[in-house]
Amino acid sequence: MKTFKKKRKCWYKYRRNQTSGNYEEYRIARNHATSLQRTVHKEIEKSVAANVKDNPKSFWKYVRSKTKNGEGISNLEKEDGTILYSNLERLWN
């Protein structure tokens, strides 16, 4: 969290006084924060993969967090041309 706070402070400092020195300080803080974030993300994925046999719940939680989308199943058209609107109709046909 300290890294991200420093990045934010450097950004505000640069926005107040746009000098090349302030931008350079912000750029270094930004790159460090991005690198740290990627490293932590990789470590989380490795730990989930390593513990998949012992803790499948955490694995599926991670999978669901990556695969959720706002779209449902679209309306289906039967062979005779009628359209199925409800989930129950789609399930049984």
Write the CA distances from 11 to 3, 23, 79, integer angstroms: 12, 8, 59
Write the CA distances from 1 to 47, 88, 90, integer angstroms: 21, 47, 47
Number of domains in the chain: 1
Residue 44 lies in a domain: yes
Q: Is 81 left (phi over 0), alpha (psi -120 to 50) or beta?
A: left
Residue 33 lies in a domain: yes
Per residue of the chain (93 residues), what is the pLDDT tens digit?
999 999 999 999 999 999 999 999 999 999 999 999 999 999 999 999 999 999 999 998 998 888 877 666 677 777 788 877 776 666 665
Which residues lie closer than 8 Å to 78 by C-beta, 6 or more apart? 84, 93
Q: What is the pTM of this model?
A: 0.62
Residue ranges making up the domain that contains 20: 2-69
φ, ψ at 11 (rounded to 5°): -65, -45
Residue 81 lies in a domain: no
